[in-house]
Amino acid sequence: MTTANDCLFCKIVRGEIPAVRVYEDESTLAFMDVFPASEGHTLVIAKNHAPTLLEIAEADLLAATVTTQRLARAVQQALAADGLRISQFNGAAAGQSVPHYHVHIVPIREGQRAGSHGREKADSAALETVAARIRHALT
């Protein structure tokens, strides 16, 4: 079982591992997925460690949901996406690769087929460029 001490996303929250941050408040953090399913693939997490939807505290879930809605609007605006895939996985069998509650925001263009995760690691400079566009759309 993963604890907050060895959780990849908790390490990002604490600044121990770099991430291209898009938004942060007291309860949540949004950052670019390093293996994006499409350009602009953003993750929203609750800062408090909870492995899945089944374990997350209600206040943290509410905060993450509000942040997800806010970021989804910004992602759609910044990237002129035709649609958005908002997804959340619970447990390895369901496709969850990091055992910390998180939501994927994946912008989709008409006719595009995007999986839940990309196959290649994205260039950090390219992620920062897209993140800047999303941050601008948040203002």
Catalytic residues: 102
Strands (DSSP E) found in the chain? 21-24, 28-32, 42-46, 83-87, 102-108
CA dihedral 20, 5, 88, 33 (to 10 degrees): 20
d(CA 95, CA 101): 13
User: Are 98 and 35 in contact, with CB atoms under 8 Å apart?
Assistant: no
Backbone angles phi, psi at 113, to 5 degrees: -115, 115
